[in-house]
Structure 1
């Protein structure tokens, strides 16, 4: 059942990628080529540099952000990159040039932050600026937002809940004659850049996603002892031989195995395994040693 849900998500993501980018399956070379034609060679070179500089387990996330920026730039035009935000924040080109995320988005990478911006800006262009913000971790519909002044029963208010995500809140009159609101979950939608970012990430998976480097980071040898321990652990704990693949020798073997193993739907022990194999693939020996200790002690 878990694998069926994951494949359903991939199928839907591939459909959206085809609709938004014209690709049958996500490919890093195609994405960079298309982005270069829309964003310009200099911007894409900077974006590609940030993606190459990310850990291999984060590369697909960076490329997904670039997919969002590509679709958003097609929607808003190249001038979006040169326009300061609200008169207080720098223009996207300045942020990309500095290669540093700014407050309050410092928990994101630069590309993720820019993708966040353009997804929201396209949503504003399509549905208008939101008058309220909510958190959809709870699906309670009633009175989830603070109502603006001068609203009336029956009025629909655009509400933001995520980067590029919008839904309506309908103003109602309560029995005590006060005004409240109900979220209309049927109106929930995402802007095209947000859909592109999600779709590319899900459809493309973790990788490998070669980007023409020499030497190829996916061809870098990994710690053979740690690789054997982690591959054997996966086989003993539910991964099939096909998912684990042949013995891991290079980082690309590890990335491909992580992608095949349905780790995201499994128990907390599998998350410990994921942290360990991520450290192995990313070439982080100190983090790998600590994570291996977690695996061994739990065995």
Structure 2
């Protein structure tokens, strides 16, 4: 974060200030509208996407916002305004989609367009994609594996004289916007992330006492320390801070039900009774 945004301790306030300087007030106001529309347990991810947009705009210039993708799809400014999902990012929120877009465009500007996509859930290195017709032994081809993520495939001649390729995992790299998105989310954590001018404060909302007690007690019985869970939860901010402190625990399979229950408590979900029933039944 210090290298990418000059922030020692990332906060929503400093991020918004950086964004206004790079993106302009109109774009930032729209970004904040989208972030405010997300669940509080999603706010950190939305702000991390804004961090990617700040760094990507610094790298590519504000003209990126008016550039269409492939000359056919809407330009980023239009996507920001409409929140319309476009391929290949239809499973992402509007801000995450724009972050992936600028991360990929920055990677293309640095290393050239990729010749193929590979899935790094498999670490098989050989012959993961069809080679271009013009490929030659020893050539290094750029392939895509994630938004802003690239690595090289080295063309080689096999013993049967056929051409193949080997992925060079040491060449794995991410563009700066992709690094910023991941880094901001990790460094800033789940929150609370209060946004400038937000009134009333959503983190000040009082939570249901009985539900909070059930979730807090379950966490303590299953290994969380009193320091991690904190004092008895009174507000949404108390719960968010506790989820953040117990981050490494709730990401395990055993704690998935607790995460669902705590998230429902934070986001004032109608599913809260069902989540608590699932947790206590388990």
| TM > 0.5 fold call | yes
Q: Give 1:266 deviation, angstroms.
A: 5.4
Write out aligned runs for 1:251-270 (5 A). 251-264=236-249, 267-270=252-255
Would you say the 8 A contact 1:46–1:97 is kept in 2? yes
Q: CA deviation at 1:263?
A: 4.2
- Show the counterpart of 1:33: 17
Aligned 8 A contact 2:118 2:143 in 1: yes
- Say if 2:209 and 2:233, in contact at 8 Å, map to a contact too: yes
Residue correspondence of structure 1 range 43-192 to structure 2 within 5 A: 43-192=27-176
- In structure 2, the CA distance between the partners of 1:121 and 1:54, relative to structure 1 (3 Å rule), is same
Give the superposed CA RMSD: 1.1
Q: Output the CA distance in 2 between the equivalents of 1:161 and 1:95.
A: 24
Q: Does 1:193 align with 2:187?
A: no
Residue of structure 2 equivalent to 1:275? 260
Instruction: Give TM-score, length-normalised by structure 2.
Output: 0.97
Consecutive aligned runs of 4 or more in structure 1 exceeding 3 Å deviation: 262-267
Equivalent residue number for residue 6 of structure 1: none
Instruction: Determine the structure 1 residue equivalent to 2:205.
Output: 220
In structure 2, C-alpha distance between the alignment counterparts of 1:264 and 1:158, rounded to whole Å: 37
> How far does residue 224 in structure 1 lie from its aligned partner after superposition?
1.0
Residues 265 and 193 of structure 1, relative CA distance in 2, 3 Å threshold? same
SS across alignment from 2:166? strand
Q: Where does residue 245 of structure 1 map in the other structure?
A: 230
Q: CA deviation at 1:164?
A: 0.3
Mapped contact 1:263–1:270 kept (Cα < 8 A): no
| Structure 1 counterpart SS, 2:150 | strand
Provide Cα deviations, 1:44-86, integer angstroms capped at 9, x if missing partner: 0000111111111000000000000000000000010011111
- Contact 2:141–2:152 (8 Å) recurs in 1: yes
Unaligned runs of 5+ in 1: 1-16
Q: What SS class does the counterpart of residue 8 from structure 2 fall into?
A: coil
- Secondary structure (helix, strand or coil) at the match of 1:207 reads coil
Q: Secondary structure at the match of 1:292?
A: helix
Aligned residues: 281
Residue 168 of structure 1: SS of its match in structure 2?
Answer: strand
Report the Cα distance in structure 2 between the residues aligned to 1:263 and 1:168, rounded to whole angstroms. 32
